[in-house]
Amino acid sequence: MATLVQSELVARGVIEAEALIRVEELHKYYNLGETRVHALRGVNLEIAPGEFVAVMGASGSGKSTFMNLLGCLDTPSSGHYLLEGVDVAQLAKSELATIRNRKLGFVFQGFNLLARTTALENVELPTLYAHLPKEERAERARRALEMVGLGGRMEHLPSQLSGGQQQRVAIARALVNHPSILLADEPTGNLDSRTSVEIMQIFQDLNDRGLTVILVTHEPDIAHYAKRTVVFHDGKICRDEPVVNRPRAAEVLRTLPSLAD
């Protein structure tokens, strides 16, 4: 019960939370008819601001469920999830939507861009729900696209962009509301190896500038670019260790042959 006391104190602002994310005894089960699937069986984790964490594990290990909970797309069956000191597990749907909008940025495996919508409009999407004035929306979207190196392709449709470019649009969309955490679910799963490293370079750059990045992957090569790896097994964390000999994506790219097309 010690943890509960602590979280309450944090919630009341008595003690300051140094962690950006604090997860305590997180459980999640799904009721599928008669059977109950226990996806998370008591997860405890702390992530400080500025970390770059790779979440790994086999399929069915619970890492996707964990990411959905971190991303406020789902609520835990029991336990606490404190995001910047606020217990998210207790929040209403609309408050979760606001957190997703302001504090979190999502990058998905399948890019998940709106088809037949320009890169600029795709990136603008989260600002629309942040109720920003029209000029600021466009300005922010433009800057985010420039940050990922797509300043020249703002009016392109997703179908006119390569996979790597589409993922960069998705990253720009994730960044446009200046979130405190970037959540990436298998962001390189649909990309070739060189493009994957390019995406990791962007993540490393963003992390260098202070953005917390949490990345789900099953590729050890990709996990290496993070600063810390957390491995899930059967709904629990079985390993949590810092990355040694972390490669810099920018340097790796120089050694890779460029795929001239």
Partner 1 sequence: MDLISILRIALQALARNKMRSILTMLGIIIGVGAVIATVGVGQGAQQQVQDNIASLGTNLVYVSSGSVNRGGLRLGSGATKTLTYDDMKAILQESPAVASAAPGSSAAAQVVFDNDNWYTRVNGTEPQFFDIRSWQMASGASFTAGDVRTSADVAVLGETVRRNLFGSADPVGETVRIGNLPFQVVGVLTAKGQSGMGADQDDAIYVPITTLQKKITGQPWLQYIVVSAVSQAASYAAQDQITALLRDRHRIHPGQEDDFQVRNLADVAQLADQSSRIMTLLLASIAGVSLIVGGIGIMNIMLVSVTERTREIGIRIAVGAQEDDVLKQFLSEAVVMSLIGGAIGILFGVAASLGISNVLRWPISISRVAVAAAVVFSTMVGIFFGYYPARKAAKLDPIEALRFE
Residues that bind partner 1 (CB under 8 A): 68, 71, 73-74, 93-94, 97-98, 100-102, 106, 108, 112-114, 116, 125-126, 128-131, 134, 173, 177
To partner 1, the closest distance from the beta carbon of 114 in angstroms equals: 6
- Residue closer to partner 1 by CB (options 102, 142) is 102
Taking the mean position of all CA atoms in its chain, how far away is CA 130? Answer: 19
- Residue closer to partner 1 by CB (options 194, 218) is 218
Cβ–Cβ contacts within 10 Å for residue 203, how many? 23
- Residue closer to partner 1 by CB (options 27, 102) is 102
**DSSP conformational letter for 154:** T
For residue 148, CA distances in Å to 103, 162, 211 come to: 19, 14, 14
To partner 1, the closest distance from the beta carbon of 16 in angstroms equals: 27
Distance, CA of 220 to CA of 9 (rounded, Å): 38
To partner 1, the closest distance from the beta carbon of 127 in angstroms equals: 9
To partner 1, the closest distance from the beta carbon of 221 in angstroms equals: 25
To partner 1, the closest distance from the beta carbon of 134 in angstroms equals: 8
Distance, CA of 11 to CA of 22 (rounded, Å): 12
> 3-state secondary structure string, 25-36?
EEEEEEEECCEE
- Residue closer to partner 1 by CB (options 96, 147) is 96
Q: Name the helix (H) or strand (E) containing 221.
A: helix 220-223
- Residue closer to partner 1 by CB (options 13, 133) is 133
